[in-house]
Chains A and B, each alone.
Chain A
Amino acid sequence: MAESNRGTFFSGAGLVWKWQRLVWWLFFVCLIFGFYSTQEMTERASFLLNNSAAAQRLVNGFDFSSIVTLQQLPDSPLEIQGHTILHFSILFVILMLFATGGILAAYVLGEKPTTTAFFEAAGHHFWRLFRLLIYLVIVLLPIAGLAAATNAIYTHIEDTSISPYPGDHVVEAAAIVILLLLIIVRVWFDMAQVIAVADDEKKMHRALRRAFTLFRHNFFSLLWLYLRVSIIEWLLFALGLHVWMFHLSPQSVVAAFLVSQLMILTWIGTRLWQRASEAIWYRNHQANHAAAPAWSPAPEPMYMPVAAPAPQQ
């Protein structure tokens, strides 16, 4: 029987707000990476544009042909952006993987995450979460297959249908299904991460199995918990994009920067909101269902077992 997640939704938001330091840290790291990854391009663009009258085409409006012209120049400032940005993004992913253990430990414990505790938990759980990441990639393969199949179906419909709409509708429907599947997978794996951290579960396949069972029994409740946050996430992002593209004056560099960063900040915040909500949900679930709860109100730090002596044979 599905459990209610009443209150979990807002409690999760409260937890993220309460320990917003985590959000700010992730945001600033992301921002610094963003700056570093584009530093060389910016310097080259500055060299080219700062003293050029032609740069006004990009200031008073945004002349698309000027951007393409910049790209076509032999010493184009846009030339190297792809690789550098990708490298820094991958670095951020590794950092995020590392930080997740600390973040979840804080949310599961419900205690203020001190720097020491945070990094100890992060280090303690890093390889477990890495193994979960590998499992996740395997699980995502069929979804990638579904996307490929959708593409094939779309091509077939485009070849045969007189109307332009059926193909589009198939793609739209498939996009919704794939998006839902991705959220479902994320709920499942987030739950496995919570179990791995909360119960100090060493075996990730076991954590995944337990998470699957829990999710199966509380499918709609947990899905709705994530979906609501996702919808808020998307709406805020779309709003930010709309303001940036349609309402800001072309010359307003500072306002554009603030809006763009607000979008990233809310994206990080809402993602942590999902994690916090699920951690609280799991905490409540354990408190309600376990005779001897795996989680106790004042447990030892989750990373402690690492330092504990090996059990006697």
Chain B
Amino acid sequence: MQLTKVFALAAASAIFCGPIFSQAAPAPADTATKTLSTRIVAYQIEAKLDPTKHTIAASESLTYKNLTGQPQQTFPFHLYLNAFQPQSTFMTEVRRSGTRGSGPDTEWDPKHFGSITVDKLEVAGAGDLTDKMQFIQPDDKNTDDHTVVQITLPKPIAPGASVEFHIVFHDVLPKVVERTGYAHDFDMVGQWFPKVGVWWKNAWNCHQFHANTEFFADFGTFDVKITVPQNEVVGAGGDLVSSATNPDGTKTLTYHSEDVHDFSWTASPSFTVVEDSWTGSQGPVKIHLLISPGHESSSQRYIKAAKGSLQLFDEWYGPYPYDRLTMVDPPHGGADAGGMEYPTLITLGTGVHMPQGVLAPEVVTEHEFGHQYWYGMVATNEFEEAWLDEGINSYTEVKVMDALYGKNTSVLNFPFAQMGESGLQQIGYLADPAKDPISRFAWLFYNNNSYGGITYSKTATMLLTLEKVIGEDTLRQALHTYFMRYRFTHPTGEDFLKTIEEVSGKDLHWYFNQAVYGTQVLDYSLADAHSDPLKWWDTAAHDSKKNDKDEIYRTYVTVVRKGDFQFPVDLEVKFEDHTTAAEHWDGQDRWVRYHYDRKAKIESAQIDAHSQITMDRDYFNNSYIEDANPRAAHKLRNIWVFASEWLSQLLAWLT
């Protein structure tokens, strides 16, 4: 009890003193220079795009500040465009288990070839170390995978000192795959430069590119010069500092970005630019929308969703500190470049004739914007704990989309069919709920479907269900505290779960052990509900008392735990005389039976009457209503009969 009070006090402090927490957080900012993040890396890149060949020739200067607390002699770098080659680990995994947009047994298409080649690598004070580069495979020992390279310096870099790398490299962009590459005249340039790994948990963390994984990098600054033909419209994850035209018909655009951990950009002569702005608690934010041909009708839908998301994130979770948000709408044929997040740049997705009732543009805008918080600023390890970005982001997607577009209509909104975000997450999770725990490393999931269903949707439904335990407002406050405390750092799953426990003042291990670290499936069922005359054996008395208000009935209600997941359950029983009974069962045993002696028969019994346990696999078995209502079944039958007749008529056309 005392412990609970301490937790409650801590939670109250977190609620009312959020910013204090953030200042007290472990190294959230370099206070000397008042930067938002601890800037470990400083990239200066000059890149020239050949839009015909879809290649990039570039040079990079990276200054790495050794804040690891120990001498560092070996540095790993990501070379992720090398994933798009047939022998890579990525393609091996795609071939085995599929990935987004590709099923298992996918054939290799040479158009999807991509590469990044380091032509020269020099280290200030150590000279040319190109020959010292060595591909490593920390995850699977696939020696044909060239997505991580390691450089060993002649002598270690002392703690607190910096090292400068000068790298000359060139990229071959693939036809869009995994959110990178070209389609027609569109180039989406992501994961395109040698990016140093993260010193994390006392070791280098620099994973290979996998089918199910995303990224992890340190915060810093980016100064990037991009040279493209003058007709190209460019969008980038940085502020445009200058623009200069060159005599050879090109232009060079200079971008600066700080307190971010990645930099991406896009170019296409076919983009139409839509400008807008939004003002939040940290000042105005410029919104640049680059819209592709044929998608103009979605412009305002994108903008509205972005502004709504900015507003609610700002109110609920914390301020958006950047002064820009670039939104890229990929062209037709480039949809695989859509639905991706980079710091201050997100890619979207729509269609030429996207119906108003299908809120796909809104959902993708909200989701990718949400990653500015859960990935962009709270920079968790997307390889090892993908649920911390995708999962939390899917939960906030539910909250924001429901608030903006209606709880039951935030995905589909037609007179004849509707769907809300929580329903979307529920079906995503319940498609295959028991193969993997949320906490599994992303590349070790059973397959791509399990990864998606568990990482995104199970986490979202797990948090929605948690609202029943700690309350929606408390969970929102916990997310606010988590964001304010860990923005611009690399927190872990434990940090997240501890924050929730701290803010809620509750020990939630029993829940997290099952929901996060386990694969148990939750399914409580109302197995039986019926009323019987109490003196059932006294048939004469019973017959004479028909319709007699003095007749006493014994009502039995039995609740069964069908799944292995144990969760407290609330039961609500209604009787014909409008009286009610409420029960709270801890849900530990396999079943529980209640009985009531009343002068009325049962009218209905229901567990989870407010549909809060979204992890429940089968919510159709949660209730019993005495008066059967066949309307839903008849409605389904109407559709099925019509479909059957319609198929008959189509086939009968042959006769």
- Give the interface of A toward B (CB within 8 A): 30-31, 33-35, 37-38, 41-42, 45-46, 48-56, 58-59, 61-66, 68-70, 72-73, 77, 81, 85-86, 88-90, 92-93, 96-97, 100, 129, 133, 136-137, 158-165, 167-168, 186, 244-247, 250-251, 253, 256-257, 260-261, 263-264, 267-268, 271
Contacts and interface: CB of A to CB of B under 8 A. Distances in A.
A278 B655 CA distance: 15
B636 A136 contact: no
A133 B651 CA distance: 12
> What are the 9 A-B residue pairs with the smallest beta carbon separation, nearest first?
A65-B423, A164-B332, A55-B632, A53-B623, A92-B648, A38-B640, A34-B641, A164-B294, A245-B416
B630 interface: yes
B649 A52 contact: no
A181 to B, nearest CB: 13
Contact of A89 (B293, B416, B651): B651
B124 interface: no
A92 B651 contact: yes
Contact of B270 (A41, A162, A257): A162
Contacts of B611: 54
Contacts of A34: 640-642, 644-645, 648
B510 interface: no
Interface residues of B, number: 65
B184 interface: yes
B424 A59 contact: no
A38 B637 contact: yes
Nearest to B651: A93
B630 to A, nearest CB: 5
Nearest to A130: B655
B620 A70 contact: yes
Interface majority SS (helix, strand, loop, mixed), chain B: mixed
A6 B635 CA distance: 44
Contact of B632 (A59, A81, A97): A59
Contacts of B636: 41-42, 45, 49, 58, 77
B108 to A, nearest CB: 17
Given A164-B331, A245-B416, A260 B638 contact: yes
A48 B619 CA distance: 10
Contact of A168 (B352, B416, B426, B635): B352
A186 B653 contact: yes
Interface string B326-364: 000001110000000000000000001000000000000
Interface in B35-69: none
Contacts of B643: 85
29 contacts: A30-B645, A38-B637, A38-B641, A41-B640, A48-B621, A49-B630, A51-B623, A51-B624, A52-B624, A53-B604, A54-B622, A54-B623, A55-B631, A59-B632, A61-B408, A62-B417, A70-B620, A72-B430, A77-B636, A129-B655, A137-B654, A162-B185, A164-B294, A165-B352, A168-B352, A186-B653, A245-B416, A246-B415, A250-B416
B649 A53 contact: no
Contact of A69 (B427, B625, B630): B427
Contact of A35 (B408, B424, B641): B641
Given A46-B633, A59-B635, A165-B294, 18 more contacts: A31-B645, A53-B625, A54-B623, A62-B417, A65-B419, A65-B423, A66-B423, A85-B643, A129-B655, A137-B654, A161-B184, A162-B184, A162-B293, A163-B294, A164-B333, A256-B635, A256-B638, A261-B642
Contact of B606 (A53, A69, A93, A186): A53
Contact of B637 (A42, A61, A66): A42
B647 interface: yes
Interface in B282-325: 293-295
Contact of A257 (B626, B638, B647): B638
Contact of B619 (A69, A90, A271): A69
A63 to B, nearest CB: 6
A63 B423 contact: yes
A50 B418 CA distance: 21
Contact of A54 (B294, B620, B635, B644): B620
A63 B642 contact: no
B419 A59 contact: no
B418 A62 contact: yes
A250 B634 CA distance: 12
Contact of B631 (A70, A164, A253): A253
Contact of B649 (A50, A56, A264): A264
A193 B412 CA distance: 47
Nearest to B529: A51
